[in-house]
Amino acid sequence: MLKNLLSAIILSGLLVVGCGSSDESSSEATEGPKYFEIMNAEKTYSMDDIKGAGLKGIKEFKTDAVDKKTGEPLTPGATNIVLGFFKGPSGPKDIEVRFYSNHDDAVSLGQDPAESITEKPSNLVGNSSVTTLADAGVGMKGSTKYGGYAISGNIVVLCERELQACLDFIEVLP
């Protein structure tokens, strides 16, 4: 009996150790899928680079748009904003590109506005989401969600439905 009890205790200990997880992996599980990335601090992109990467149907928007309720700028520090579509490996997706003077400005001035209009992957349901500029103007709520964003060099790239669309677009930039 003592032998069986000892075996059971050892087996239980092995199961606990084998099934345990580190803090890192458990925090990943609770955070959900990744929806943004910051990269390429040394890069500086131009409108020619964006066009060369295959952004089509480009529409330009004012950089001085303000929130109608608060009067606060929606894209502080942005020097240019364009919207178009990009035909990547997962099909055509709406892509919004916000230009800043440099990478530091893109991060410090562009990340909060991008974060505020990006739906986290766990919140995306069906086809409802945040409207693109073409539909309603910078950062307005509506029907097409930005499911991810990436900051690469001096640009913030907002992507329809998922981060992968941003990464696909950035991958073809010069």
Nearest to 153, CA basis, from 14, 44, 34: 44
pLDDT for 27:
31
Round to whole Å and give the CA distance between 106 and 103: 5
pLDDT for 121:
58
Res 81 pLDDT > 80: yes
Q: How confident is the model at residue 31 (pLDDT cuts 50, 70, 90)?
A: low
pTM of the model: 0.72
